Structure 1
Amino acid sequence: MSSSSKRRVFPFAAVIGQEEMKLALLLNIIDPRIGGVMIMGDRGTGKSTTIRALADLLPGIDVVQGDPYNSSPNDPDLQSTEVRQLIEQGNEVSTEERQVPMIDLPLGATEDRLCGTIDIEKALSEGVRAFEPGLLAKANRGLLYVDEVNLLDDHLVDVLLDSAASGWNTVEREGVSVRHPARFVLIGSGNPEEGELRPQLLDRFGMSVEVRTVREAELRVQVVDQRTAFDDDPDSFISSVQAKQDSLQKKVVSAQDRLQNVVIDEDLRLKISAICGELDVDGLRGDIVSNRAARALAAFEGRNEVSEEDVARVITCSLRHRLRKDPLEQIDSGDRVIKAFCNIFERSDEDVANSFELASID
């Protein structure tokens, strides 16, 4: 894809700080089955900038030309019904390369805008399924970003999470039904001061990240200088970090290819489940996500076996949002996860502190 046709967004590789957020996003790109990321934090901490930069980091994808669902030319699970029928009938389909879709869901969106709508009048008069694809169709094989997700109507959140979990979207109206693939990485962000998500909905996000405002003066100046340089001359700024961006892209693609060969020792799996049990985590999503995130991290770092340090680096993001809230309890949910990790792995707080701070993506 030519550079002139690409979005001019702030490069992911140039984002300073917020290492936990960047790592969680990359792990979900490596293994979308992790289930997305919920990012909560102060206003103006670079949440939206980092998320929009993520799609730009990824290489283009091959899609069936003219298909509104970004259907894959070779994976039946990522194909619309029409494309699959064409291929099954022995027809050849033309392909084109597209940038990974990055779809924003506005707060005021209706369910029809999100899921798509069926033109019943045309269906009855002409006997054809006249379907107007929604945002879920456009987000297939890409990223779906919901800013201020904690302010989104609950029924839309339910639809989003169901589609993200199943990988399909079904629209039914007056006996007419349309079903299409909707596999995307769901990313939500919000400010906790403006309201919390319901616990049962928060639990459906694979990982949860908390971002804080940078306090160090030198780092703040560095962030301001970089943003100013990008705004003044985007092309020049992007060129200055292109080598780093390309290197990170190769690392992510390599991790995607390596992922299926990464193994996690039974002892580590038992300890992960022991942590979930000690924290009284409901259900098994915490166990599953922690295992997947640890494997994705090992793949990202070029290894075929998960280490104890991998578990340390992902366990907080995987579990902190699944803990039952006690209004009288003073300890932070992330600290509770770290304490449980230390108990199960029989390590001291100081000994394990370095592991939890190794979230750099470099």
Structure 2
Amino acid sequence: MSIPYPFSALVGQDEMKRAILIAAVEPAIGGLLVLGDRGTGKSTAVRGLAALLPKMRAVQGCRYHCDPESASVCEDCERLKAGGRIKTDQLPVPVVDLPLGASEDRVLGALDLERALSQGIKVFEPGLLARAHRGFLYIDEVNLLEDHLVDLLIDVAASGENVIERDGLSLRHPARFVLIGSGNPEEGELRPQLQDRFGLSVEVSTPREIAARVEVVRRRDAYERDPAGFASQWSRADAQVRRQILQARDRVGCLDVGEPVLQRAAELCVAVGSDGLRGELTLMRAARAMAALEASTEVTLDHLRAVAVMALRHRLRRNPLDDTASGERIERAVAELWN
């Protein structure tokens, strides 16, 4: 098994790393969209974070690796419970890649044809959505994803369940994951219906500073020469990030977002013309997760300001009379409203 590049060893890209940590603390935010240049560490950051997270407790023998403490159970768990005492395993947090050319059967799951033909029984073969349950579903070049797959993802992301009604099969299974998509906007637009499903959106670019570029190359070369040795050098820093995430997960449920902060969030969404109410909900959840990561006892305007751009930049309507980038428009609105 290959050793992933350490999350803590990534150079720069602070907004992307902060957004990934927020999504790891509060999955209800709805995932992360990362847009920008190729080769800027997007997939490396996702795999690095998943590798440093502690293993998750799952029902042994369940094809969907359900949480044994979960109130809702799948058909596998029901069958195992009926058979006696449930056993558990410790499994790594899954990071599943969804290829652009994947078929519906591979994504949703399908009838196991081999067993159907050889044994005459109908058995469901889980797809990528089942593998991603309780982990991360990563889509590179998400803006090039075929429309029929986009529609599937929208449905599952909204419900947290994958419903199969095909090939004589009728079943449903849990499919709750942190959806992370990346792409280059110059290669195509992302459908608005899917774009709105991402809680946060960040933009990454190739570093322009010579020192940063040299450091990226130096660290990558050291990793490729000796992955285990390089990972051990960053193990203490990764362990600190792991503790930060676990402690933030414990705190986030105890933090209340006060009326003044909610008022400011609504004012900002109105000022920038954010469609719907997902903007306010995402601002609230992201600010609360940010406060938890910083071990704060309350959610403040500073936390709201820190997440404003990433929570709203992909929700703005295009203004043909204003060619200012969406991030700059949000920062301008923040300065006008809150100063």
Aligned to 2:222: 229
Work out the percentage of aligned pairs sharing the same amino acid. 49
Deviation string, structure 1 residues 176-195 (Cα, Å, up to 9, x no partner): 31100001000000011101
Deviation string, structure 1 residues 213-244 (Cα, Å, up to 9, x no partner): 10000111011100011000111111111111
After the TM superposition, which residues 1-362 of structure 1 pair with which residues of structure 2 at under 5 Å, given as runs?
7-77=2-72, 79-87=73-81, 89=82, 91-119=84-112, 129-173=122-166, 176-345=169-338, 347=339
8 Å CA contact retained: 1:290, 1:311: yes
* Matched letter for residue 244 of structure 1: A
8 Å CA contact retained: 1:263, 1:304: no
Which stretches in structure 2 are left out of the alignment for 5+ residues?
A: none
8 Å CA contact retained: 1:171, 1:179: yes
8 Å CA contact retained: 2:111, 2:167: no
User: How far has the Cα of 1:125 moved from its partner?
Assistant: 11
User: How far has the Cα of 1:84 moved from its partner?
Assistant: 3.2
* Matched letter for residue 207 of structure 1: L
8 Å CA contact retained: 2:154, 2:193: no
8 Å CA contact retained: 1:255, 1:302: yes
CA distance in 2, matches of 1:258, 1:135: 31
CA distance in 1, matches of 2:304, 2:117: 56
CA distance in 2, matches of 1:125, 1:216: 61
* Matched letter for residue 41 of structure 2: G
* Matched letter for residue 294 of structure 2: E
CA distance in 2, matches of 1:167, 1:74: 17
* Matched letter for residue 57 of structure 2: D
8 Å CA contact retained: 1:164, 1:185: no
* Matched letter for residue 109 of structure 1: A
CA distance in 2, matches of 1:290, 1:98: 32
8 Å CA contact retained: 1:58, 1:100: yes
CA distance in 2, matches of 1:80, 1:101: 18
Which stretches in structure 1 are left out of the alignment for 5+ residues?
A: 348-362
SS in 2 for 1:322: coil
User: How far has the Cα of 1:127 moved from its partner?
Assistant: 8.4
CA distance in 1, matches of 2:57, 2:107: 24
* Matched letter for residue 25 of structure 2: I
User: How far has the Cα of 1:334 moved from its partner?
Assistant: 0.5
Deviation string, structure 1 residues 53-75 (Cα, Å, up to 9, x no partner): 12112100011112211111121
Runs of 4+, deviation exceeding 6 Å: 120-127
Deviation string, structure 1 residues 34-64 (Cα, Å, up to 9, x no partner): 0000000011111121122121121000111
Change over 3 Å in CA distance of 1:174–1:132 after alignment to 2 = closer
* Matched letter for residue 81 of structure 1: E
Aligned to 1:360: none
* Matched letter for residue 151 of structure 1: L
8 Å CA contact retained: 1:120, 1:174: no
User: How far has the Cα of 1:130 moved from its partner?
Assistant: 1.0
CA distance in 2, matches of 1:343, 1:158: 38
CA distance in 1, matches of 2:113, 2:42: 40
CA distance in 2, matches of 1:129, 1:274: 54
User: How far has the Cα of 1:152 moved from its partner?
Assistant: 0.6
8 Å CA contact retained: 2:157, 2:197: no
CA distance in 1, matches of 2:147, 2:57: 34
* Matched letter for residue 278 of structure 2: R
Aligned to 1:353: none
8 Å CA contact retained: 2:55, 2:92: yes
CA distance in 2, matches of 1:150, 1:257: 35
Deviation string, structure 1 residues 281-312 (Cα, Å, up to 9, x no partner): 11111110110000000011112311111101
Q: TM-score if structure 2 supplies the norm length? A: 0.95
Pairwise CA RMSD of aligned residues?
Answer: 1.9
CA distance in 2, matches of 1:28, 1:137: 20
8 Å CA contact retained: 1:28, 1:185: yes
CA distance in 2, matches of 1:299, 1:91: 39
8 Å CA contact retained: 1:76, 1:84: no
* Matched letter for residue 58 of structure 1: L
CA distance in 1, matches of 2:60, 2:331: 48
* Matched letter for residue 316 of structure 1: V
SS in 2 for 1:179: strand
* Matched letter for residue 51 of structure 1: V
SS in 1 for 2:163: strand
